[in-house]
């Protein structure tokens, strides 16, 4: 079994751009973000979701949480984590030579330029840091990709829903009904999401950041809800309120990639102070 079908972690992000184009930008401009052959890209992403949807079961999520939420892999500062994350860059990206730090800075600087609160800027800066999971030998289908609840019926609005037929939870009567193991409007905090960088980073940051920031980190890949509104029956009033921030964040994540590199050295003093304001010197991963 091929455990890491994506040649580059950004194949998934490119697929997002195709599925959720910015209506305010000309189509051609959006298409030019990544220069892959459509057939190769589509097949790569398709295989990614085949693996993701087949193996992201309720039991799988529970096992990953029990393993990784011990936070015993590595202790490091946020800056060390970003440097660690930068080793994910690979030569297969044919379009722009931006490492992970530069993507994070493009996102956060766009948020900063629009005058949002500093915690929102910080959220943009660190939202993908959970992808360090890849460097702990996790396959990419268990790190990136659209996220969705497990323990209840899989929505047919999730990307490539046809692959859920291979997921054993689809035929498990405990998990394959609308509510599954959950209660109506129980609140997303009581719902297990598919395992990946969103939930992992949320669990690392949950004692340090404001509630809207934590919702952004935890649910920024939950497109079946913030784009398709498929899981409102599990959400409570607080979830609906906080999801306005998730929706506000999404365009900054998707549409700020550009070939102009941010001046990381010039920006670093600002971000050093911002990180110091909210986070401890080191974090456990």
- pLDDT tens digits, residue range 9-45? 666 677 776 777 765 655 445 444 444 345 566 788 8
Does a structural domain hold residue 2? Answer: no
Distances (CA, A) of 91 to 9, 95, 98, 187: 12, 10, 11, 42
Distances (CA, A) of 273 to 72, 135, 143, 270, 278: 27, 27, 29, 5, 9
Determine the Cα–Cα distance for residues 123 and 116; give it in Å rounded to an integer: 11
DSSP state of 174: T
Q: How confident is the model at residue 257 (pLDDT cuts 50, 70, 90)?
A: low
pLDDT at 50 over 70: yes
Average pLDDT of the chain to the nearest whole number: 87
Q: DSSP of 153-203, one letter per residue?
A: PPPTTSSSGGGGGGSGGGG-TTTSSSSTTS-TT--GGGSPBPSSHHHHHHH
Asked if residues 10 and 34 have their Cβ atoms less than 8 Å apart, the reply is yes
pLDDT of residue 64: 98
More confident residue, 262 or 197: 197
Does a structural domain hold residue 20? Answer: yes
pLDDT of residue 254: 81
* Angle at CA of residue 16, ends 221 and 155, nearest 5°: 55
pLDDT of residue 101: 85
Does a structural domain hold residue 5? Answer: no
Determine the Cα–Cα distance for residues 108 and 264; give it in Å rounded to an integer: 12
Asked if residues 283 and 78 have their Cβ atoms less than 8 Å apart, the reply is yes
Does a structural domain hold residue 18? Answer: yes
pLDDT at 60 over 60: yes
Domain assignment of residue 164, given as a range: 10-284
Count the domains in the chain: 1
Q: 68-123, pLDDT tens digit by residue?
A: 999 999 999 999 999 888 876 433 233 345 677 888 999 999 999 999 999 999 99
Does a structural domain hold residue 92? Answer: yes
Give the SS3 label for residue 117. coil
% residues pLDDT > 70 (the chain)? 81
Asked if residues 39 and 26 have their Cβ atoms less than 8 Å apart, the reply is no
Phi-psi region of 149 (alpha: psi -120 to 50; beta: other; left: phi over 0): beta
Does a structural domain hold residue 4? Answer: no
Residue with tokens 């990419």: 140
Kindly state the helix (H) or strand (E) to which residue 253 belongs, with its residue range. Answer: helix 237-254
Does a structural domain hold residue 3? Answer: no
Stretch among 59-73, 80-94, 132-146 having the lowest mean pLDDT: 80-94
């Amino acid at each position: 079994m091929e455990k890491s079908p994506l040649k580059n972690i950004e194949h998934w992000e490119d697929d997002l751009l195709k599925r959720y184009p910015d209506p305010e930008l000309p189509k051609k401009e959006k298409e030019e973000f990544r220069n892959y052959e459509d057939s190769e890209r589509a097949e790569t992403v398709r295989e990614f979701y085949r693996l993701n949807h087949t193996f992201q079961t309720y039991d799988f999520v529970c096992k990953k949480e029990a393993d990784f939420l011990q936070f015993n892999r590595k202790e490091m500062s946020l800056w060390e984590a970003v440097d660690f994350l930068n080793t994910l860059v690979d030569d297969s990206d044919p379009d722009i030579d931006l490492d992970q730090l530069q993507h994070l800075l493009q996102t956060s600087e766009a948020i900063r330029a629009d005058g949002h609160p500093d915690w929102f800027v910080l959220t943009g800066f660190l939202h993908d840091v959970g992808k360090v999971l890849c460097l702990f030998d996790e396959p990419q289908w268990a790190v990136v990709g659209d996220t969705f609840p497990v323990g209840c019926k899989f929505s047919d609005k999730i990307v490539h829903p046809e692959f859920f037929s291979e997921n054993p939870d689809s035929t498990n009567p405990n998990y394959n009904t609308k509510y599954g193991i959950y209660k109506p409007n129980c609140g997303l905090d009581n719902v297990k999401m598919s395992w990946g960088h969103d939930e992992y980073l949320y669990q690392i940051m949950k004692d340090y950041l404001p509630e809207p920031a934590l919702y952004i980190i935890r649910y920024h890949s939950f497109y079946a809800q913030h784009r398709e509104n498929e899981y409102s029956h599990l959400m409570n009033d607080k979830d609906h309120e906080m999801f306005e921030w998730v929706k506000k964040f999404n365009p900054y994540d998707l549409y700020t990639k550009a070939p102009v590199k941010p001046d990381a050295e010039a920006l670093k003093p600002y971000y050093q102070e911002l990180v110091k304001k909210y986070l401890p010197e080191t974090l456990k991963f």
